[in-house]
Amino acid sequence: MLQLLVSCNSNTKNFAFDRVEFTPQYAQGFTICSSQDSVSGLIIKKPWQGADSVSMCYRIDKPAQRIVAMSSTFVAMLESLGAVDRVVGVSGIEFITNETIKNRNGKVVDVGYNDYFDYEKMVMLNPDVVLLYGVNGPSPLEEKLNELNIPYVYIGEYLEESPLGKAEWVIAIGEIIGKRNEAIALFNEIEQRYNAVKASFSNNELRPKVMINAPYNDNWWLPSTNNYMSKLIADAGGDYIYKENTGNASKIIDIEEAYLLMSKADVWINPGQATTMTQLAEMAPRFTDTKVFAEGKVYNNNRLSTIGGGNDFYESGIMNPDVILKDLAKVFYPTLMADYQPVYYQRLK
């Protein structure tokens, strides 16, 4: 038996979980445990970036029926489990692409975002749980939710670098809503599909060199080789061009270094908000004379975007890493994937 005693948020009080019910294979941020009286709970490790020594627990006395989802990825996970109708509140509804949420005729309330949260609406919704996330520290909602005695739990899928690790958080969501077994079965299917695509492309010898992102204020942010996108590129048979950053955070390079990298690239992906080559030329005029730009081998992941600025790549994409992998394989090996139509990616014209 494993005795787990960690600090719990206000709706749980101190509680001892002495059985590990589920340990993720890919995700690093949660464990499902239970107590001797068969009450289950989540142990959340590293609930936000930099919280390496912080753990929280969330006791689940009954499946949540009324949920406020503070991230669109939580909506996608609930949708995949057939439980999106339990969402009564969201943060920034104009950024959400989910059709069910948008078509529920005002039954889903926007509780605000950033510094503009409407706590009166939150109280009126009477949620069973608020699904939170933190960026570089606790959510700004946490203190007020404690004061209002509204249950909450941190869902830290965005901290996972493994594409399958992100998707595996659906099992944590499944536990919260009483659908653990369904969530495990769903994830197993995702894992099988992902690994099947990976097996087809990750060992290709002729791997195209891939440049990523776009300039911002004369700087270029490039992820580490351990990053989520870097792993997707590798698993789809691409060769991420910037190998100098092996740390755990993105690194800034200057425009000169970015130009040298771009001059060697075969493919350019995720160039900011650009949807056309004209827009990209305005964003990055220095790079219009590179081979990759001249040949039009530029692809963005914003095929499914909302007028309000939402992007389904960052919403439903979390539950479809295998589809993203196919999209990238199509980008890298168009002749091998001639009959495949991308879902999230589009070639800029």
Residues 211 and 89 in one domain: no
Q: Say yes or no to pLDDT of 315 above 70.
A: yes
Q: Say yes or no to pLDDT of 32 above 80.
A: yes
- Pairing mode, strands 19-22 and 251-254: unpaired
Structural domain includes residue 18:
no
Structural domain includes residue 87:
yes
CB 146 within 8 A of CB 9: yes
Identify the domain boundary among 122, 157, 191: 191
Residues 324 and 219 in one domain: yes
Structural domain includes residue 329:
yes
Residue 304 binned pLDDT confidence (cut-offs 50, 70, 90)? very high
CATH number at residue 131: 3.40.50.1980
Identify the domain boundary among 191, 223, 246: 191
Domain with 90 in it: 62-191
Q: What is the pLDDT of residue 2?
A: 42
Q: What is the pLDDT of residue 311?
A: 95
Structural domain includes residue 50:
no
Residues 307 and 258 in one domain: yes
Structural domain includes residue 23:
no
236: how many CB neighbours lie within 10 A of its CB?
A: 26
Residue 49 binned pLDDT confidence (cut-offs 50, 70, 90)? confident
Residues 163 and 206 in one domain: no
User: What percent of the chain has pLDDT above 70?
Assistant: 95
**324: three-class secondary structure by DSSP:** helix
Structural domain includes residue 271:
yes
**What mean pLDDT is predicted for residues 14-42?**
86
Give 136-166 pLDDT, tens digit per residue. 889 999 999 999 999 999 999 999 999 999 9
Residue 296 binned pLDDT confidence (cut-offs 50, 70, 90)? very high
- How many domains, the chain? 2
CB 135 within 8 A of CB 7: no
Helix (H) or strand (E) holding 235: helix 228-235
Structural domain includes residue 28:
no
Q: Which residues contact 48 (CB under 8 A, 6 or more apart)?
A: 54, 133, 134, 135, 136, 137, 138, 139, 154, 156, 159
∠ CA(13), CA(17), CA(21), 5° rounding? Answer: 135
CB 31 within 8 A of CB 20: yes
pTM: 0.93
Structural domain includes residue 321:
yes
Identify the domain boundary among 191, 223, 245: 191
